[in-house]
Amino acid sequence: MQSPPQARQARQVRPRSILIWTAVAAVGAIGWAMLALSRGEEVSAAWMVAAALGSYAIAYRFYSRYILTRVLRADRTRATPAERLADGLDYHPTDRRVLLGHHFAGISGAGPLVGPVLAAQMGFLPGTIWIIVGVIFAGAVQDMVVLFFSTRRDGKSLGQIAREEIGPVGGTAAVVAIFVIMIILLAVLALVVVNALAESPWGAFSVGMTIPIALFMGFYLRFLRPGRVAEVTAIGIALLLFVIAAGRWVANSSWAEAFTLEPGTLVIWLVIYGFAASVVPVWLLLVPRDYLSTFMKIGTIALLAVAIVVTLPGLKMDAITDFATNGEGPVFAGSLFPFVFITIACGAVSGFHALISSGTTPKMIQKETQVRTIGYGAMLMESAVAVMAITAACVLDPGVYFAMNAPPAVIGDTLQSAADTISSWGFTLTPDQLAEAAEAVEEESLLSRTGGAPTLALGLAGIFADIIGGDSMMSFWYHFAIMFEALFILTAIDAGTRVGRFILQDALASVPGLGRLRSNTWLPGVWITSAIVVALWGGLLWVGVNDPLGGINTLYPIFGISNQLLAAVALAICTLLLVKSGRLKYVWVTLVPFAWVSLVTLTASWQKVFSGDPAVGFLARRDQYQDGIDAGELLPGAADMDDMRTIVTNATIDAALSAVLAVLVLIVFADALRVCVKAVRTPAAASLKEAPYQESRLIAPDGLVATKEERAELAAAGLGAGGGIPGQDPSGHGRGAPE
């Protein structure tokens, strides 16, 4: 058998390549040295970019290739489920460039924007280290390995894989934990969208118009011009830029009222959208919409990186603040360990990604060997977003940062009280500074704009305005960034809802008499399970929208814990599969990050439930407000006694959810350990539930850019850059012209 292009390429090591990669490593090392060693002086944000990009490049070039070829042993001759089970609904071989956009959009939710901004209160160094080191050795590894193993199993969900490979006890615990966590994650993602789009006609119009644009792109690629990815991309980007500009016109026109939506109204529209995105064919809405939004995300973040290098803004936040050690941070309470590691979830390691990697993506990937580009590569892209987010937060004046992110219960609700409180922490801040910052972006106030999105928008606007437009463009860039973030987050909801439907279908189909629910072609089952999923996360979203302390303050801690618990479950399952497949010598690749994530998250779970500090522990907060109710005393954060009772109820629910999820996850760990020990002792008895090998007829490159050998193979088969099956066009209806 002819060796794949990747294998042939790996043997060719030229002096030029050695020099290039040595230079890349040097740039990254210098960036790290400047961040870590500079003390008592302002550090340029450009060193953040250098450290991140240098580290990412080395990790992708060497570590991800090692995992692909040595650990996973990906086989490009093996047909993927997208090819074998193509049905035009969920299973559909998709150009790896389009699929990378879909996967990146699916995994990129609120985490890489919100978490790093919140974690900036502890300084720029701890968060940056975790974002970059965490993604290289944990997050990107998880995404890539889960995608590979799901592809080998007909694109089955993480819960179904756990049930088949671990057994009924651990498998059932995994399914329940995964589904509950999924609902929590979707509700928090949707809540950030609501907070960003509420009362914003510009954002609501621009984000809403991406849906008909995506429908047009899907129809265009499927029927009008199959395979013309570059062509439809140019059209989509042009339309996207137009609706972004048109959003400002709409906001200043008589149409503004129609697009000025209350939070409750947005909840209804998001539920309707989530249901629709879950039931229509992936090629019609999900893939083109995510692909479209990816260009905006990547373009904006790339522009931000370039702007940082050009303008060289200084990092005004300290490398490590006092809040990292005393645990009394006003943005969120708790010490650096473990809370910075659960606050920064997406961008370093995120369990939500494992659901996408075992949900929509494995049903569309063309080749096993593409898991490196799509799984590892997309996660590095998201980590870059997180680095840009923490950078944008840290170039702001620290006083303004804390004024935007601390709740009213801490800093009050007036400019004077906020300035006085923050000044008492050792930061210089005046009421005039806060008023000028709000006026610059045409907002009435920036106080307590929690959730991370406004902080990132203000930092991004300041950097962009230094290059284009100056102070007169601050308002434009700020509102552009708010809209950009809402679009960024919304794309995770459509893929996540579909994955939630997959999980529920698999779970219910195991009940006697309900086996038909597993079929994706039985539309009543698809509609019923989709409706259940959106009703559950929609109900939790409604609770968050109406929460007295603010939905983000109530739901984000449980979001961080549940997300990282899910990552630990995914890494445990990956470790189990490596052991059962006879790759014990490589098990450290997933075992080490599993051990670290488990330690961090279970420690955080314990503290969030049982800590005696009401600012940290859910039960302590419940007792504090219950005592206030008993004494007839109104505590900060509550406007009346109904709010007091709501806070008690929410704290009780958060504590119960955290405890139950931790117990379920420990059951999964224990049962997985039992299976691993059994597989090591009696390797012959270990059985894998992989789909049988079937030779692939599909031809496609492994990476974004085809190698010389891959281009020759495509040309010989009469195929375009997107690849395909010789004699069949990308829509599956006959032979098409090459791109």
pLDDT in tens, 624-641: 999 999 999 998 878 889
- Type of residue at 223: F
Q: pLDDT tens-digit profile of 28-51?
A: 999 999 998 876 678 999 999 999
| The residue to which tokens 């929208």 are assigned | 545
Is pTM, for the whole model, over 0.95? no
- Contact yes or no for 726/697 (Cβ under 8 A): yes
- Type of residue at 732: G
Q: Sorting pLDDT into bands at 50, 70 and 90, what band is 8?
A: very low
What whole-number distance in Å separates Cα of residue 576 and Cα of residue 174?
A: 14
Q: Sorting pLDDT into bands at 50, 70 and 90, what band is 412?
A: confident
pLDDT value of residue 681: 92
- Phi, psi at 724, each rounded to 5°: 150, -170
pLDDT value of residue 730: 52
What whole-number distance in Å separates Cα of residue 434 and Cα of residue 240?
A: 33
Q: pLDDT tens-digit profile of 208-230?
A: 887 888 888 888 878 888 767 77
Q: Sorting pLDDT into bands at 50, 70 and 90, what band is 10?
A: very low
Q: DSSP labels for 228-282?
A: -HHHHHHHHHHHHHHHHHHHHHHHTSTTHHHH---HHHHHHHHHHHHHHHHHS-T
Q: Sorting pLDDT into bands at 50, 70 and 90, what band is 378?
A: very high
DSSP reduced 3-state for 315: strand
Q: pLDDT tens-digit profile of 658-682?
A: 899 999 999 999 999 999 999 999 9
702: CB partners within 8 A, 6+ apart: 4, 5, 6, 76, 367, 369, 370, 372, 373, 710
